[in-house]
Structure 1
């Protein structure tokens, strides 16, 4: 029936949960419903799409792992040199590994095969290939998951609770 965005008491996104778990939190009065989709679970209980916890929950900072999937998602599945969207995207080190480049969020980008081969063992400046955006480490893995739903066109009511979405 759908996923539900869970907000902390401070209105910051906390996680995405199932509608069943969200209803349990509502029935136990641990959360309040902020948004619903009009569908009813009980005669007086609409199916929530966004809930807010009544008590603040402190969450530790978790670093997002540097994986191919996460880099592709951060870069919008497009080549950071020419903007190509499609198949056969690779990961490219801005400063090549052979020249001391590390596997970090700031040094790894998405590139199409053509641009990656053209750049070769050079820096973008040496190859005359400026980057479309400066690579940065993502702030939140939850933002990745939320943006996936928003990009698919579902749960647009979540947009007002997510900064930068």
Structure 2
């Protein structure tokens, strides 16, 4: 049926839930409707607009030091499905992970040393640093500070256009 963006009471993105879960939160008055689609969900005695974005009534505190695991999916999501060398956007299956400082030269597999790269750029860079290969990184790789944004980016290929103003 679709996904619904859940915002904190301060309008920060928290997560993505199913339409069914969003309707339950709305019925229990734990959330309020921010944006809805034109379509309706009909019950025997009621009709509900299909929610696209809901906001929690009570503020949920987000732990600042919650660690996000380093994986292919999270690195590609952090880099917004973009090759960090040529700047082209690709699908998840067309991107690879590249160590900025190669592992053979002591480069660690850490957030600060791994970036998303297309297959062509990764092969041309080879076992060299970006400076040696004549590449410049589009952005300095860092550990994501806000987990929800990284997780929400995983939904970016199919999210509704109304989410855009809340994500960035």
Normalised to the residue count of structure 1, the TM-score between the two structures is 0.80
Cα distance between partner residues in 1 of 2:142 and 2:8: 26
Q: Does 1:137 align with 2:143?
A: yes
Contact kept, 8 Å, 1:32 with 1:54, in 2: the verdict is yes
Question: Residue 41 of structure 2 corresponds to which residue in structure 1?
Answer: 41
Cα distance between partner residues in 2 of 1:38 and 1:88: 35
Q: What's the C-alpha RMSD, in Å, of the aligned pairs?
A: 2.5
Q: Deviations along 1:14-64, whole A, 9 cap, x unmatched?
A: 211111221112111221111111222354532221111111122324322
Contact kept, 8 Å, 2:22 with 2:51, in 1: the verdict is yes
Correspondence list, 1:73-112, <5 A: 73-83=77-87, 85=90, 89-112=95-118
Which range moves more in the overlay, 4-13 or 134-143? Answer: 134-143
Q: How many pairs are equivalent?
A: 162
Q: CA deviation at 1:88?
A: 5.5
Cα distance between partner residues in 1 of 2:18 and 2:94: 34
Question: Residue 146 of structure 1 corresponds to which residue in structure 2?
Answer: 152
Cα distance between partner residues in 2 of 1:48 and 1:88: 33
Q: CA deviation at 1:150?
A: 4.1
Cα distance between partner residues in 2 of 1:18 and 1:35: 15
Question: Residue 27 of structure 2 corresponds to which residue in structure 1?
Answer: 27
Cα distance between partner residues in 1 of 2:86 and 2:8: 40
Q: Deviations along 1:74-102, whole A, 9 cap, x unmatched?
A: 33444322345476543221112222211
Cα distance between partner residues in 2 of 1:113 and 1:159: 29
Q: Which one has more relative contact order, counting CA pairs under 8 Å at least 6 apart?
A: 2
Question: Residue 58 of structure 2 corresponds to which residue in structure 1?
Answer: 55
Question: Residue 16 of structure 1 corresponds to which residue in structure 2?
Answer: 16
Gaps of at least 5 residues in structure 1 are none
Normalised to the residue count of structure 2, the TM-score between the two structures is 0.79
Cα distance between partner residues in 2 of 1:33 and 1:106: 38
